[in-house]
Structure 1
Amino acid sequence: MSFPLAAEWLLLTDSAAGTIVPLQFGGLEEAVETATGPIGLLLIAAYSFLIAVVLPLPSEIVLVPAATGLGFGLPENVALAVIMLVSGLGKAAGSVVAFHLGHEARRQSGPVIDRLRESRFDVVEWSERRTVELARKYGYIGLALALSVPFFPDTISIYAFTVLEEDYVKFAAATFTGSIGRLLITVGVLSPFFAL
Protein backbone atom coordinates (compact mmCIF):
# COMPACT_ATOMS: atom_id res chain seq x y z
CA MET A 1 0.00 0.00 0.00
CA SER A 2 1.46 3.36 -0.90
CA PHE A 3 0.05 6.83 -0.49
CA PRO A 4 1.56 10.08 -1.60
CA LEU A 5 3.57 11.53 1.27
CA ALA A 6 1.53 13.61 3.66
CA ALA A 7 2.36 17.26 4.17
CA GLU A 8 6.03 17.30 5.09
CA TRP A 9 5.90 20.70 6.71
CA LEU A 10 3.72 23.63 7.63
CA LEU A 11 4.82 27.22 7.63
CA LEU A 12 5.38 29.24 10.75
CA THR A 13 6.36 32.88 10.82
CA ASP A 14 9.46 33.60 12.87
CA SER A 15 8.90 37.21 13.98
CA ALA A 16 12.45 37.58 15.30
CA ALA A 17 14.01 36.64 11.98
CA GLY A 18 11.20 38.08 9.86
CA THR A 19 11.11 34.89 7.80
CA ILE A 20 9.00 31.84 7.15
CA VAL A 21 10.27 28.71 8.91
CA PRO A 22 9.22 25.16 8.01
CA LEU A 23 7.58 23.31 10.90
CA GLN A 24 8.37 19.63 10.42
CA PHE A 25 5.76 16.94 11.06
CA GLY A 26 7.48 14.29 8.94
CA GLY A 27 8.66 12.35 12.00
CA LEU A 28 5.16 12.01 13.40
CA GLU A 29 3.73 11.03 10.04
CA GLU A 30 6.51 8.51 9.45
CA ALA A 31 5.86 6.98 12.87
CA VAL A 32 2.17 6.59 11.99
CA GLU A 33 2.97 5.13 8.57
CA THR A 34 5.22 2.48 10.13
CA ALA A 35 3.08 1.81 13.23
CA THR A 36 2.90 -1.79 14.44
CA GLY A 37 1.64 -3.62 17.51
CA PRO A 38 -0.29 -2.21 20.45
CA ILE A 39 1.97 0.88 20.61
CA GLY A 40 1.27 1.45 16.92
CA LEU A 41 -2.47 1.39 17.56
CA LEU A 42 -2.02 3.90 20.39
CA LEU A 43 0.01 6.08 18.04
CA ILE A 44 -2.75 5.94 15.40
CA ALA A 45 -5.33 6.89 18.04
CA ALA A 46 -3.15 9.76 19.32
CA TYR A 47 -2.49 11.04 15.79
CA SER A 48 -6.22 10.94 15.00
CA PHE A 49 -6.94 12.76 18.26
CA LEU A 50 -4.38 15.47 17.41
CA ILE A 51 -5.63 16.04 13.87
CA ALA A 52 -9.11 16.58 15.25
CA VAL A 53 -7.88 19.19 17.72
CA VAL A 54 -4.82 20.99 16.33
CA LEU A 55 -2.97 19.40 13.42
CA PRO A 56 -4.20 20.20 9.90
CA LEU A 57 -2.73 16.98 8.50
CA PRO A 58 -4.36 14.24 6.40
CA SER A 59 -5.93 11.40 8.33
CA GLU A 60 -5.59 8.98 5.43
CA ILE A 61 -2.01 8.08 6.32
CA VAL A 62 -3.32 5.94 9.19
CA LEU A 63 -4.26 3.38 6.53
CA VAL A 64 -0.65 2.71 5.53
CA PRO A 65 0.17 0.25 8.39
CA ALA A 66 -2.61 -2.09 7.22
CA ALA A 67 -0.27 -3.42 4.53
CA THR A 68 1.88 -5.03 7.24
CA GLY A 69 -1.08 -6.38 9.22
CA LEU A 70 -0.02 -4.04 12.02
CA GLY A 71 2.68 -6.52 12.94
CA PHE A 72 0.02 -8.92 14.26
CA GLY A 73 -0.04 -10.97 11.06
CA LEU A 74 -3.63 -9.91 10.40
CA PRO A 75 -5.07 -10.04 6.89
CA GLU A 76 -5.06 -6.57 5.32
CA ASN A 77 -8.88 -6.24 5.45
CA VAL A 78 -8.93 -7.02 9.18
CA ALA A 79 -6.04 -4.63 9.82
CA LEU A 80 -7.92 -1.92 7.87
CA ALA A 81 -11.03 -2.47 10.00
CA VAL A 82 -9.02 -2.28 13.25
CA ILE A 83 -7.23 0.87 12.07
CA MET A 84 -10.49 2.52 11.04
CA LEU A 85 -12.05 1.73 14.41
CA VAL A 86 -9.04 3.01 16.38
CA SER A 87 -8.68 6.13 14.22
CA GLY A 88 -12.40 6.87 14.43
CA LEU A 89 -12.38 6.57 18.21
CA GLY A 90 -9.29 8.79 18.48
CA LYS A 91 -10.84 11.43 16.25
CA ALA A 92 -14.15 11.28 18.13
CA ALA A 93 -12.31 11.88 21.42
CA GLY A 94 -10.38 14.76 19.84
CA SER A 95 -13.60 16.26 18.51
CA VAL A 96 -15.00 16.45 22.03
CA VAL A 97 -11.95 18.45 23.10
CA ALA A 98 -12.25 20.67 20.00
CA PHE A 99 -15.97 21.08 20.71
CA HIS A 100 -15.19 22.31 24.21
CA LEU A 101 -12.40 24.60 22.98
CA GLY A 102 -14.65 26.03 20.28
CA HIS A 103 -17.31 26.94 22.83
CA GLU A 104 -14.72 28.49 25.14
CA ALA A 105 -13.22 30.51 22.29
CA ARG A 106 -16.62 31.97 21.46
CA ARG A 107 -17.10 33.00 25.10
CA GLN A 108 -13.64 34.56 25.39
CA SER A 109 -13.21 36.22 22.02
CA GLY A 110 -10.21 38.46 22.67
CA PRO A 111 -9.23 41.97 21.55
CA VAL A 112 -8.90 41.32 17.80
CA ILE A 113 -12.37 39.79 17.55
CA ASP A 114 -13.77 42.59 19.74
CA ARG A 115 -12.27 45.22 17.38
CA LEU A 116 -13.69 43.43 14.35
CA ARG A 117 -17.13 43.35 16.00
CA GLU A 118 -16.94 47.12 16.58
CA SER A 119 -15.89 47.87 12.99
CA ARG A 120 -18.24 49.31 10.37
CA PHE A 121 -18.56 45.91 8.67
CA ASP A 122 -19.00 43.18 11.24
CA VAL A 123 -17.17 40.36 9.47
CA VAL A 124 -17.21 38.20 12.60
CA GLU A 125 -20.97 38.38 12.99
CA TRP A 126 -21.48 37.60 9.29
CA SER A 127 -19.15 34.57 9.33
CA GLU A 128 -20.60 33.29 12.62
CA ARG A 129 -24.12 33.70 11.25
CA ARG A 130 -23.25 31.78 8.03
CA THR A 131 -21.58 28.97 9.96
CA VAL A 132 -24.52 28.72 12.36
CA GLU A 133 -26.94 28.64 9.40
CA LEU A 134 -25.00 25.83 7.72
CA ALA A 135 -24.63 23.85 10.93
CA ARG A 136 -28.30 24.22 11.83
CA LYS A 137 -29.41 23.35 8.29
CA TYR A 138 -27.33 20.19 8.00
CA GLY A 139 -26.69 19.43 11.67
CA TYR A 140 -24.69 16.43 12.72
CA ILE A 141 -25.27 14.75 9.36
CA GLY A 142 -23.53 17.73 7.74
CA LEU A 143 -20.58 17.31 10.08
CA ALA A 144 -20.32 13.61 9.25
CA LEU A 145 -20.51 14.38 5.52
CA ALA A 146 -17.92 17.16 5.77
CA LEU A 147 -15.54 14.82 7.57
CA SER A 148 -16.04 12.17 4.88
CA VAL A 149 -14.24 14.27 2.26
CA PRO A 150 -10.82 12.67 1.69
CA PHE A 151 -7.70 14.81 2.13
CA PHE A 152 -9.61 17.81 3.58
CA PRO A 153 -8.33 18.87 7.02
CA ASP A 154 -10.64 17.58 9.75
CA THR A 155 -9.73 20.41 12.09
CA ILE A 156 -11.51 22.99 9.90
CA SER A 157 -14.77 21.04 9.71
CA ILE A 158 -14.77 20.16 13.40
CA TYR A 159 -14.27 23.73 14.59
CA ALA A 160 -16.75 25.09 12.03
CA PHE A 161 -19.44 22.82 13.45
CA THR A 162 -18.80 23.64 17.13
CA VAL A 163 -21.76 26.02 16.86
CA LEU A 164 -24.09 23.03 17.18
CA GLU A 165 -25.98 22.20 20.34
CA GLU A 166 -24.18 21.26 23.54
CA ASP A 167 -24.47 17.54 22.82
CA TYR A 168 -20.99 16.08 23.10
CA VAL A 169 -22.17 12.52 22.41
CA LYS A 170 -23.88 13.42 19.11
CA PHE A 171 -20.89 15.53 18.09
CA ALA A 172 -18.49 12.65 18.82
CA ALA A 173 -20.78 10.17 17.03
CA ALA A 174 -20.93 12.39 13.93
CA THR A 175 -17.15 12.74 13.99
CA PHE A 176 -16.68 8.99 14.36
CA THR A 177 -19.09 8.31 11.48
CA GLY A 178 -17.44 10.89 9.24
CA SER A 179 -13.98 9.57 10.06
CA ILE A 180 -14.94 5.99 9.18
CA GLY A 181 -16.73 7.25 6.06
CA ARG A 182 -13.62 9.09 4.90
CA LEU A 183 -11.39 6.07 5.37
CA LEU A 184 -13.91 3.81 3.60
CA ILE A 185 -14.11 6.23 0.68
CA THR A 186 -10.33 6.41 0.55
CA VAL A 187 -9.95 2.64 0.52
CA GLY A 188 -12.94 1.90 -1.72
CA VAL A 189 -12.82 4.71 -4.26
CA LEU A 190 -9.35 6.20 -4.22
CA SER A 191 -7.23 3.10 -3.60
CA PRO A 192 -6.84 2.21 -7.32
CA PHE A 193 -5.09 5.55 -7.78
CA PHE A 194 -2.65 4.88 -4.92
CA ALA A 195 -2.07 1.15 -5.47
CA LEU A 196 -3.38 0.11 -2.06
Structure 2
Amino acid sequence: MALLTTIFQVLQSGLLEALEVAVETATGPAGLVIIAVYSFLIAIVLPLPSEVVLAAPLNLGLGEWGTLGIIMLVSGLGKAAGSVVALKIGNEAKEYGPITRALQRSRFDVVAWSERRTVEIARKWGYVGLALALCVPFFPDTLSIYAFTVLEEDYPKFAVATFVGSVGRLLVTLALIGLGIDIAAESGDLLQ
Protein backbone atom coordinates (compact mmCIF):
# COMPACT_ATOMS: atom_id res chain seq x y z
CA MET A 1 0.00 0.00 0.00
CA ALA A 2 3.00 2.30 0.50
CA LEU A 3 3.68 2.00 -3.24
CA LEU A 4 0.13 3.07 -4.04
CA THR A 5 0.43 6.07 -1.70
CA THR A 6 3.70 7.07 -3.37
CA ILE A 7 2.13 6.79 -6.83
CA PHE A 8 -0.78 9.04 -5.76
CA GLN A 9 1.63 11.64 -4.35
CA VAL A 10 3.70 11.68 -7.53
CA LEU A 11 0.60 12.01 -9.69
CA GLN A 12 -0.66 14.95 -7.66
CA SER A 13 2.62 16.77 -8.30
CA GLY A 14 1.71 17.46 -11.93
CA LEU A 15 3.02 14.23 -13.39
CA LEU A 16 -0.55 13.26 -14.30
CA GLU A 17 -0.86 16.03 -16.88
CA ALA A 18 2.69 15.45 -18.12
CA LEU A 19 1.95 11.76 -18.69
CA GLU A 20 -1.21 12.52 -20.67
CA VAL A 21 0.71 15.02 -22.83
CA ALA A 22 3.49 12.44 -23.30
CA VAL A 23 0.93 9.95 -24.64
CA GLU A 24 -0.67 12.51 -26.96
CA THR A 25 2.72 13.45 -28.42
CA ALA A 26 4.43 10.05 -28.34
CA THR A 27 6.27 9.21 -31.55
CA GLY A 28 8.17 6.21 -32.82
CA PRO A 29 8.86 2.99 -30.95
CA ALA A 30 9.61 4.87 -27.70
CA GLY A 31 6.00 6.03 -27.84
CA LEU A 32 4.90 2.42 -27.46
CA VAL A 33 6.68 2.28 -24.10
CA ILE A 34 4.88 5.46 -23.01
CA ILE A 35 1.54 3.96 -24.10
CA ALA A 36 2.27 0.73 -22.20
CA VAL A 37 3.19 2.60 -19.00
CA TYR A 38 0.16 4.90 -19.32
CA SER A 39 -2.19 1.93 -19.85
CA PHE A 40 -0.60 0.06 -16.94
CA LEU A 41 -1.16 3.04 -14.63
CA ILE A 42 -4.73 3.56 -15.84
CA ALA A 43 -5.61 0.08 -14.59
CA ILE A 44 -4.26 0.87 -11.13
CA VAL A 45 -4.60 4.57 -10.30
CA LEU A 46 -5.08 6.99 -13.18
CA PRO A 47 -8.51 8.58 -13.56
CA LEU A 48 -7.84 9.35 -17.22
CA PRO A 49 -9.47 8.04 -20.39
CA SER A 50 -7.57 5.23 -22.06
CA GLU A 51 -8.85 6.34 -25.47
CA VAL A 52 -6.19 9.07 -25.59
CA VAL A 53 -3.69 6.43 -26.77
CA LEU A 54 -5.45 6.44 -30.15
CA ALA A 55 -4.27 10.02 -30.69
CA ALA A 56 -0.58 9.16 -30.33
CA PRO A 57 1.23 10.13 -33.56
CA LEU A 58 3.57 7.13 -33.49
CA ASN A 59 4.44 6.98 -37.21
CA LEU A 60 5.79 3.42 -37.15
CA GLY A 61 5.75 3.03 -40.92
CA LEU A 62 2.94 0.47 -40.76
CA GLY A 63 0.14 2.59 -42.18
CA GLU A 64 -2.80 3.92 -40.20
CA TRP A 65 -4.46 0.58 -39.42
CA GLY A 66 -1.17 -1.19 -38.65
CA THR A 67 -0.20 1.55 -36.23
CA LEU A 68 -3.65 1.53 -34.59
CA GLY A 69 -3.42 -2.26 -34.25
CA ILE A 70 -0.04 -2.01 -32.51
CA ILE A 71 -1.33 0.77 -30.24
CA MET A 72 -4.35 -1.36 -29.26
CA LEU A 73 -2.15 -4.41 -28.62
CA VAL A 74 0.37 -2.50 -26.48
CA SER A 75 -2.35 -0.62 -24.60
CA GLY A 76 -4.29 -3.83 -23.95
CA LEU A 77 -1.19 -5.64 -22.70
CA GLY A 78 -0.25 -2.70 -20.46
CA LYS A 79 -3.74 -2.54 -18.98
CA ALA A 80 -3.85 -6.34 -18.52
CA ALA A 81 -0.56 -6.19 -16.58
CA GLY A 82 -1.88 -3.29 -14.52
CA SER A 83 -5.10 -5.17 -13.79
CA VAL A 84 -3.10 -8.02 -12.26
CA VAL A 85 -1.45 -5.51 -9.91
CA ALA A 86 -4.88 -3.97 -9.17
CA LEU A 87 -6.27 -7.43 -8.42
CA LYS A 88 -3.42 -8.05 -6.00
CA ILE A 89 -4.00 -4.66 -4.34
CA GLY A 90 -7.76 -5.25 -4.21
CA ASN A 91 -7.37 -8.69 -2.67
CA GLU A 92 -4.95 -7.37 -0.05
CA ALA A 93 -7.11 -4.34 0.71
CA LYS A 94 -10.21 -6.40 1.35
CA GLU A 95 -8.28 -8.53 3.84
CA TYR A 96 -6.01 -6.01 5.56
CA GLY A 97 -7.19 -2.51 4.77
CA PRO A 98 -7.90 -0.18 7.70
CA ILE A 99 -10.74 1.43 5.75
CA THR A 100 -12.31 -1.98 5.15
CA ARG A 101 -12.05 -2.85 8.86
CA ALA A 102 -13.60 0.49 9.85
CA LEU A 103 -16.45 0.03 7.39
CA GLN A 104 -17.07 -3.50 8.67
CA ARG A 105 -17.36 -2.15 12.24
CA SER A 106 -19.73 0.64 11.19
CA ARG A 107 -23.46 0.57 11.79
CA PHE A 108 -24.14 -0.19 8.13
CA ASP A 109 -21.92 -2.88 6.65
CA VAL A 110 -21.10 -1.11 3.38
CA VAL A 111 -18.39 -3.65 2.54
CA ALA A 112 -20.76 -6.61 2.81
CA TRP A 113 -23.40 -4.80 0.72
CA SER A 114 -20.89 -3.87 -2.04
CA GLU A 115 -19.41 -7.35 -2.04
CA ARG A 116 -22.90 -8.86 -2.39
CA ARG A 117 -23.76 -6.56 -5.31
CA THR A 118 -20.42 -7.15 -7.02
CA VAL A 119 -20.70 -10.89 -6.42
CA GLU A 120 -24.17 -10.84 -8.03
CA ILE A 121 -22.86 -9.02 -11.11
CA ALA A 122 -19.70 -11.12 -11.32
CA ARG A 123 -21.63 -14.38 -10.88
CA LYS A 124 -24.16 -13.37 -13.51
CA TRP A 125 -21.69 -12.03 -16.06
CA GLY A 126 -18.27 -13.23 -14.84
CA TYR A 127 -15.25 -12.25 -16.84
CA VAL A 128 -17.48 -11.38 -19.78
CA GLY A 129 -19.03 -8.71 -17.55
CA LEU A 130 -15.62 -7.27 -16.77
CA ALA A 131 -14.67 -7.22 -20.45
CA LEU A 132 -17.99 -5.58 -21.39
CA ALA A 133 -17.69 -2.99 -18.61
CA LEU A 134 -14.25 -2.07 -19.92
CA CYS A 135 -15.63 -1.62 -23.45
CA VAL A 136 -17.57 1.48 -22.42
CA PRO A 137 -15.68 4.49 -23.80
CA PHE A 138 -14.67 7.30 -21.42
CA PHE A 139 -15.71 5.36 -18.29
CA PRO A 140 -12.82 5.10 -15.79
CA ASP A 141 -11.15 1.70 -16.09
CA THR A 142 -10.08 1.70 -12.47
CA LEU A 143 -13.72 1.58 -11.28
CA SER A 144 -14.57 -1.53 -13.29
CA ILE A 145 -11.29 -3.24 -12.47
CA TYR A 146 -11.47 -2.66 -8.72
CA ALA A 147 -15.17 -3.54 -8.60
CA PHE A 148 -14.34 -6.99 -9.95
CA THR A 149 -11.35 -7.49 -7.63
CA VAL A 150 -13.77 -8.01 -4.74
CA LEU A 151 -14.66 -11.47 -6.03
CA GLU A 152 -12.00 -12.55 -8.46
CA GLU A 153 -8.72 -14.27 -7.71
CA ASP A 154 -7.85 -15.91 -11.03
CA TYR A 155 -5.04 -13.67 -12.28
CA PRO A 156 -4.73 -15.07 -15.84
CA LYS A 157 -8.49 -14.92 -16.53
CA PHE A 158 -8.65 -11.43 -15.01
CA ALA A 159 -5.79 -10.26 -17.25
CA VAL A 160 -7.37 -11.79 -20.38
CA ALA A 161 -10.76 -10.20 -19.62
CA THR A 162 -9.05 -6.84 -19.08
CA PHE A 163 -7.10 -7.18 -22.33
CA VAL A 164 -10.24 -8.07 -24.32
CA GLY A 165 -12.20 -5.22 -22.73
CA SER A 166 -9.38 -2.73 -23.33
CA VAL A 167 -9.03 -3.59 -27.01
CA GLY A 168 -12.83 -3.70 -27.29
CA ARG A 169 -13.07 -0.17 -25.88
CA LEU A 170 -10.57 1.15 -28.40
CA LEU A 171 -12.45 -0.57 -31.25
CA VAL A 172 -15.77 0.89 -30.03
CA THR A 173 -14.12 4.32 -29.83
CA LEU A 174 -12.78 4.00 -33.38
CA ALA A 175 -16.25 2.93 -34.57
CA LEU A 176 -17.85 5.93 -32.87
CA ILE A 177 -15.25 8.26 -34.37
CA GLY A 178 -15.89 6.73 -37.80
CA LEU A 179 -19.64 7.10 -37.34
CA GLY A 180 -19.16 10.75 -36.37
CA ILE A 181 -17.05 11.37 -39.47
CA ASP A 182 -19.66 9.68 -41.69
CA ILE A 183 -22.46 11.76 -40.16
CA ALA A 184 -20.44 14.96 -40.56
CA ALA A 185 -19.70 14.09 -44.20
CA GLU A 186 -23.35 13.36 -44.90
CA SER A 187 -24.52 16.57 -43.29
CA GLY A 188 -21.93 18.46 -45.35
CA ASP A 189 -23.27 16.80 -48.50
CA LEU A 190 -26.78 17.88 -47.59
CA LEU A 191 -25.71 21.51 -47.20
CA GLN A 192 -24.17 21.68 -50.68
More strand by share: 1
- Distance in 2 between residues matched to 1:129 and 1:141, nearest whole Å: 18
The structural deviation recorded for 1:128 is 1.7
Match of 2:16 in 1: 25
TM-score, scaled to structure 2: 0.82
- Distance in 1 between residues matched to 2:24 and 2:67, nearest whole Å: 13
Q: Extract unaligned runs of 5+ from structure 2.
A: 1-7, 185-192
In structure 2, the CA distance between the partners of 1:57 and 1:38, relative to structure 1 (3 Å rule), is: same
The structural deviation recorded for 1:24 is 6.1
- Structure 1 segments of 4 or more deviating over 3 A? 21-24, 190-195
The structural deviation recorded for 1:108 is 0.4
Match of 1:62 in 2: 53
| 1:110-133: CA deviation from partner (whole Å, max 9, x where unpaired) | 1x4323322332222111211121
Asked whether the 8 Å contact 1:135–1:163 carries over to 2, the reply is no
Q: Extract unaligned runs of 5+ from structure 1.
A: 1-11, 13-20
In structure 2, the CA distance between the partners of 1:175 and 1:106, relative to structure 1 (3 Å rule), is: same
Q: How many residues align?
A: 172
Asked whether the 8 Å contact 1:60–1:186 carries over to 2, the reply is yes
Instruction: Please point out which of 124, 127, 131 is paired with 1:140.
Output: 127
Match of 2:61 in 1: 73
Asked whether the 8 Å contact 2:84–2:158 carries over to 1, the reply is yes
Matched, 1:92 2:83: no
Matched, 1:172 2:159: yes
- Distance in 2 between residues matched to 1:75 and 1:116, nearest whole Å: 52
The structural deviation recorded for 1:23 is 5.3
Identity %: 65
TM-score, scaled to structure 1: 0.81
Match of 1:45 in 2: 36
Q: Letter of the aligned partner of 1:28 in structure 2? A: L
- Distance in 2 between residues matched to 1:173 and 1:192, nearest whole Å: 28
In structure 2, the CA distance between the partners of 1:115 and 1:97, relative to structure 1 (3 Å rule), is: closer
| 1:13-71: CA deviation from partner (whole Å, max 9, x where unpaired) | xxxxxxxx995622211110111112100000000000001111100000012xx4x23
More helix by share: 2
Asked whether the 8 Å contact 1:92–1:175 carries over to 2, the reply is yes
